[in-house]
Structure 1
C-alpha cells in the first residue's frame, strides 16, 4: 500500500492496541494510526475525521461490538471495519459481519502478514460494496426516471389519441358538411342552368344579341359552378368511402371520342389542337363509363387550362395482361419534380395564392387518383417545366368490384373473360408517380 492510510484502533486493552500497531508497522503499511479505548471516543473521532479502516474489539467497556456496528449505521458513518475477536468467538464475528462489519480477525492470529492481508481485503470489500451501492442507486434513479418518462409518454399518447379522435370527428363533420352543402347547392344550380337553357328556346321569344350573350354567360358559369360543386361532392363521397363504381360493359373508344368532342370547344377557344388516337383490338371493357369520362374530363380540363399554345393528344392503347392505357399529353407549362407528389393531394395546387392565374378547387387530380385506385389501376406522371406534361392511366380491362361474389359467373367479351371478384381493389392496387 503506497498511500498513507488513516487507521483507527478501538480497544480498551493497551497490549492489544500495541500488537495491532506493531504488526502494521512491521508489514510496512504507510499509515497514520489513531487509538481510542471505548466506543464513545471512537464515534467522536469518526464524526470529525475520515478513516480508511477501523479495527475494534467486539467487547468494548461501554458497549458490545454489535451495538457499535448498529450505531455506525444509524449515524450513516461509512468506513471499512474489522472486528478483533478472542479465540473461539468466530460465531459472534459472523453475526457482526451480517450486521455490517467488513471482516473479522482473531487476536491470537495477529501477525504482520495476516493483518496487512485483512486490511487490504477490508478496504477492497468496502470499496466494492460502495461502488455496488452507487451503481444500485444509479440503477434505481434510472429506473425511476424511466418510469416517469414512461408515464409521460403514456400521457402524451393519450393526448395524441384524443387529438386523433377530435381530428377524425372534425374530418367526418367536414365531409358531411361538404356533402350536404354540395347537395344543397346542386338544386339551385340545376335550376339556373335549366332556366338559362329555356330562355334560348324560340317559343319564349327571340333574344337580342346582348341578351343572348348574357344568358350564355349565365349558362356557362352555371355549368362551371355545378362542375365545381360536383367535384366537392364526389370528393366528400370518396373520402367517406360512400362512392361506388357502377360497372358495365361499354365501348371505351366511343366514350373517349364523345368526351373529347365535348371538350373540343374549350381547346378551340384557345386555338389548341386536340388529337385522339385509339389503338385497341378489342374496345369493350367492364368498368364505370361515367367515372372513366370524369377522369378524362379532369385530365383534359387541366391540359387545356395549363396549355397556352400547341397541342393536346389523347391516346388509348392495348397493354399486356388484359390492360388498357389512357394517355393525355400537352405542351403546357409543365410541373416541377418537387410538385409531382403534392398535386395529387386534395385542395392542393402548385400556385396556392388567391391571385393565381389558373383557378380551380384543386380536387381534380385527387379525385382521379382515388378513382384509379378504386379501379385497381395505376397513374404515371412525366413532366418538364416549359415543355409539357404526360398523365398515363393504366387500368385493367375488367375491374373487380368487391361487392360482387367471388364465384359469380364470368362475362365473355369477344374472347376476353371479365371476372367479377369480391377482392377489394384498394388492397391489390399500387401507385407510381
Structure 2
C-alpha cells in the first residue's frame, strides 16, 4: 500500500484488537489506526471520520455486528468493512456479507499476509461496488432523463399534431374561400366581358376611336382578370380534390393547333415566331381535351411572357410504351437551376416584388404540375439563364381516371440532372435546342 490508510478496528476484546494492529504493522501497511470497543463508539467514529477500511468483531458487548452494520447502512454510511468472526461463525458471516459487509475473516486465521491480502481485497471490492453503484445511478438518471425527454417529445408531438390540424383546417377554409370568391367574381366579370363585346360590335352603334380603344381595354383586361380568377378557382379545386378530368377520345394535334392559334396574336404582338411541328403516326388519344389545352396555353403564355425576342417551338411526337410528348421551347430569359423546384410551387415567382416586370398569380405551373400528374404524366424542365427554357410533358395515350395527384410524389431531378415531376421518373438525354 503506497498511501497512508485510515483504519478502524472495532472489537470488545483488547487482545483481538492488538492482534489486528500488529499483523497490519508487520505486513508493512502504512496506516493511521483507531480502536473502539463497542458499537456505539464505532458508529460515532464513522459518522465523523472517513475511514478506508473497518475491521469489525462480530460479537460486541452492546450489540452484534449485524445490528451495527444495519445501523450504518440505514444512515447511508458506506465504507469497506471486514467482519472478524470466531470459530463456527461462518454462517453468520455469510449473513453479514448479504447485509452489506465487504469481506470476512476468522480470527484464528489472522496473520500479516492474510490480513494484508484481505485488506487489499476489501478495498478493491468496495471501490468496484462504488463504481457499479455510480454507473447504475447514472443509468437511472439517464433513464429518467430519457423518460422526461420522451414525455416532452410526446407533448411537442401533440402540439405539432394540433398545429397541423389547425393548418389543415385553415388551408381548407382558404381553399373554400378562394373557390367561393373566384366563382362569385366570375359572374360579374363575364358580364363585363360580354357587354364590352356588344359595345365593340358596329350594329350596336358606332364608337369614336377613343371610345373603342377604352372599351377594348376593358374587354382585354376583363379577359385577363377572368383568366386569373379561373386559375385561382382551378387551384382551389385541385387542393381539395374536387377537380375531375372529363376524358374523351379526340385528335390531339387539333387541340394543340387550337391552343397555338389562340396564342398567336400575343406572340405576334411581341414579334415572336410561334412554330408548331407534329410527328405522330396516330393523333387520337383518350384524355381531357379542355385540360390539355389549358396546360398548353399556360406553357405558351409563360413562354411568350418571358421571351423578348426569338422563337417559340411547339413539338408533338411519339414515345415508346404508347405515350406522347408535348414540348414547348423558347429563347427567353431562362430559369436558374436553384429555382427549378420552386417554380412549381403555388404562388411562387422568381421575382416576388409588387413592382415585378412579369405579372401573374404564380399558379400556372402549379396547376400544370397537378393536372399532368392527375393524367399519369411527367414534366421535364431544362433551362439555362439567358438561353431559354424547355418544358417537356409526357402523357399516356389513354389516361386512367383512377389516377390521382396524391398517388404521385413531389417534383424531383432525374438521373441526368434534368428537372422532372413524376412517379419513378426516367429521362433520355433531351436538351433544348
Q: TM-score, normalised by structure 2?
A: 0.92
Gaps of 5+ in 1: 403-422
Indicate the SS of the match to 2:54: strand
Indicate the SS of the match to 1:393: strand
- Conserved? CA contact 1:377–1:430, under 8 Å: no
Q: Alignment RMSD, CA only?
A: 1.5
Q: Give the drift of 1:328.
A: 0.9
Greater mean alpha carbon deviation, residues 74-83 or residues 234-243: 74-83
- Residue deviations 1:306-331, cap 9 Å, x none? 11111111111111211111111111
The correspondence of residues 315-354 of structure 1 with structure 2, limited to 5 A, is 315-354=315-354
Q: Give the drift of 1:202.
A: 2.9
The 4+ residue runs of structure 1 with deviation greater than 6 A are none
- Conserved? CA contact 1:378–1:429, under 8 Å: no
- Conserved? CA contact 1:377–1:429, under 8 Å: no
Indicate the SS of the match to 1:354: coil
Indicate the SS of the match to 2:362: coil
Who is 2:219 aligned against?
Answer: 219
- Conserved? CA contact 1:29–1:116, under 8 Å: yes
Indicate the SS of the match to 1:6: strand
Who is 1:287 aligned against?
Answer: 287
Q: Give the drift of 1:390.
A: 1.0
1 CA distance for matches of 2:305 and 2:30? 97
Who is 2:273 aligned against?
Answer: 273
2 CA distance for matches of 1:271 and 1:130? 89
Who is 1:71 aligned against?
Answer: 71
1 CA distance for matches of 2:404 and 2:218? 43
Who is 1:300 aligned against?
Answer: 300
- Residue deviations 1:142-193, cap 9 Å, x none? 1110100000000000000000000000010011001000100110011111
Indicate the SS of the match to 2:238: helix
Sort the Cα spacing of 1:129 and 1:368 in 2 relative to 1 into closer, same or farther, 3 A. same
Query: How many residues of Structure 1 are paired with residues of Structure 2 in the alignment?
Result: 413
Who is 2:26 aligned against?
Answer: 26
Indicate the SS of the match to 2:236: helix
1 CA distance for matches of 2:404 and 2:334? 34
2 CA distance for matches of 1:308 and 1:118? 97
Who is 2:59 aligned against?
Answer: 59
2 CA distance for matches of 1:326 and 1:430? 21
Gaps of 5+ in 2: 420-433
- Conserved? CA contact 2:247–2:286, under 8 Å: yes
Indicate the SS of the match to 1:281: coil
Greater mean alpha carbon deviation, residues 38-47 or residues 391-400: 38-47
Who is 2:431 aligned against?
Answer: none
Indicate the SS of the match to 1:352: coil
Who is 2:131 aligned against?
Answer: 131
Indicate the SS of the match to 1:137: helix
- Conserved? CA contact 2:306–2:333, under 8 Å: yes
Q: Give the drift of 1:430.
A: 8.1
2 CA distance for matches of 1:154 and 1:79? 43
Q: Give the drift of 1:244.
A: 0.8
1 CA distance for matches of 2:105 and 2:117? 11
Q: Quick check: 1:82 aligned with 2:82? A: yes
Who is 2:105 aligned against?
Answer: 105
The correspondence of residues 50-199 of structure 1 with structure 2, limited to 5 A, is 50-199=50-199
Q: Give the drift of 1:85.
A: 1.6
Q: Give the drift of 1:107.
A: 1.3
2 CA distance for matches of 1:430 and 1:74? 65
2 CA distance for matches of 1:49 and 1:352? 77
1 CA distance for matches of 2:100 and 2:408? 71
- Conserved? CA contact 2:373–2:404, under 8 Å: no
Q: TM-score, normalised by structure 1?
A: 0.92
- Conserved? CA contact 2:85–2:93, under 8 Å: yes
